[in-house]
Chains A and B, each alone.
Chain A
Amino acid sequence: MFKRSLTLTAMALAFALPMAAQAHKMWMVPSATNVSGADPWVTVDAAVSNDLFYPDHVPGDLSRLVITAPDGQPVKAENTNTGKYRSEFDVHLTQQGTYRIAMVNEGIFASYEMDGQKKRWRGDAAGLAKELPAGAKNVEVSEAVNRVETFVSNGKPNESALKPTGKGIELVPVTHVTDLVAGEGATFQLLIDGKPASDMKVTAIAGATRYRNAQDEFEATTGKDGKFTLNWPKAGMYWINASTQDNKTSVKQAKQRRLSYSATLEVLPQ
Chain B
Amino acid sequence: MRRLTLSIPALLIAAPVLAADLNVTVQIPQLDVAEYHRPYTAVWIEREDHSVAAQLAVWYAQKETKEGAGTKWLPELRQWWRRGGRDLQMPVDGVSGATRPAGQQQLKFQEGKAPLNTLAPGKYELVVEAAREVGGREVVRVPFSWPVSAPQQLDAKGSSELGAVKVDLVP
Q: Does A38 contact B (CB under 8 A)?
A: yes
Contact (Cβ within 8 A) A40 B72? yes
Give the residue name and chain of the A residue nearest to B139 (CB): A270
Q: In terms of DSSP, what is the predominant structure of the interface of chain B?
A: helix
Q: With A39-B66, A269-B78 given, can you name 19 additional A-B contacts, CB distance below 8 Å?
A: A32-B75, A34-B81, A35-B75, A36-B73, A37-B67, A37-B69, A37-B72, A37-B73, A37-B74, A38-B67, A38-B71, A38-B72, A39-B67, A40-B67, A155-B86, A156-B87, A157-B86, A179-B82, A181-B82
Which residues in chain B, 136-159, are within 8 Å of chain A measured between CB atoms?
137, 139
User: How far is B139's CA from A268's CA once the two chains are assembled, in angstroms?
Assistant: 14
Please give the distance in Å from B64's CB to the nearest CB on chain A.
8
Contact (Cβ within 8 A) A270 B79? yes
User: How far is B78's CA from A235's CA once the two chains are assembled, in angstroms?
Assistant: 12
Contacts of B75 in A (CB 8 A): 32, 34-36
**Which listed residue, B68, B81, B87, B137, touches A39 by the CB 8 Å rule?**
B68
Per-position 1/0 for A248-270, Cβ under 8 A of B? 00000000000000000000111
Contacts of B67 in A (CB 8 A): 37-40
User: How far is B139's CA from A155's CA once the two chains are assembled, in angstroms?
Assistant: 21
User: How far is B72's CA from A156's CA once the two chains are assembled, in angstroms?
Assistant: 14
Contacts of A268 in B (CB 8 A): 78
Contacts of A269 in B (CB 8 A): 78, 137
Please give the distance in Å from A40's CB to the nearest CB on chain B.
7
Please give the distance in Å from A177's CB to the nearest CB on chain B.
13
Please give the distance in Å from B112's CB to the nearest CB on chain A.
30
Please give the distance in Å from B12's CB to the nearest CB on chain A.
42
Please give the distance in Å from A268's CB to the nearest CB on chain B.
5
Contacts of B74 in A (CB 8 A): 36-37
Please give the distance in Å from A31's CB to the nearest CB on chain B.
12
**Which listed residue, A34, A36, A38, touches B66 by the CB 8 Å rule?**
A38
Give the residue name and chain of the A residue nearest to B65 (CB): A38
Contacts of B86 in A (CB 8 A): 34, 36, 153, 155-157
User: How far is B86's CA from A39's CA once the two chains are assembled, in angstroms?
Assistant: 15
User: How far is B86's CA from A35's CA once the two chains are assembled, in angstroms?
Assistant: 10
Contacts of A38 in B (CB 8 A): 66-68, 71-72
Contacts of B72 in A (CB 8 A): 35-38, 40
Please give the distance in Å from B138's CB to the nearest CB on chain A.
11
Per-position 1/0 for A166-194, Cβ under 8 A of B? 00000000000001010000000000000
Per-position 1/0 for B74-93, Cβ under 8 A of A? 11001101100011000000
Which residues in chain A, 23-46, are within 8 Å of chain B measured between CB atoms?
32, 34-40
Contacts of B66 in A (CB 8 A): 38-39
Contacts of B87 in A (CB 8 A): 156
Please give the distance in Å from B8's CB to the nearest CB on chain A.
41
Give the residue name and chain of the B residue nearest to A269 (CB): B78
Q: Which of A36, A38, A156 has the most CB of B within 10 A?
A: A36
Please give the distance in Å from A270's CB to the nearest CB on chain B.
7
Per-position 1/0 for A214-253, Cβ under 8 A of B? 0000000000000000000000000000000000000000
Which residues in chain B, 35-85, are within 8 Å of chain A measured between CB atoms?
66-69, 71-75, 78-79, 81-82
Give the residue name and chain of the A residue nearest to B89 (CB): A155
Contacts of B79 in A (CB 8 A): 270
User: How far is B139's CA from A269's CA once the two chains are assembled, in angstroms?
Assistant: 11
User: How far is B88's CA from A247's CA once the two chains are assembled, in angstroms?
Assistant: 49
User: How far is B79's CA from A197's CA once the two chains are assembled, in angstroms?
Assistant: 33
Per-position 1/0 for A104-147, Cβ under 8 A of B? 00000000000000000000000000000000000000000000
Please give the distance in Å from B159's CB to the nearest CB on chain A.
15
Contacts of A157 in B (CB 8 A): 86
Contacts of B78 in A (CB 8 A): 34, 268-269
Please give the distance in Å from A91's CB to the nearest CB on chain B.
15
User: How far is B72's CA from A35's CA once the two chains are assembled, in angstroms?
Assistant: 7
Give the residue name and chain of the B residue nearest to A179 (CB): B82
User: How far is B61's CA from A37's CA once the two chains are assembled, in angstroms?
Assistant: 12
User: How far is B76's CA from A35's CA once the two chains are assembled, in angstroms?
Assistant: 9
Contacts of A32 in B (CB 8 A): 75
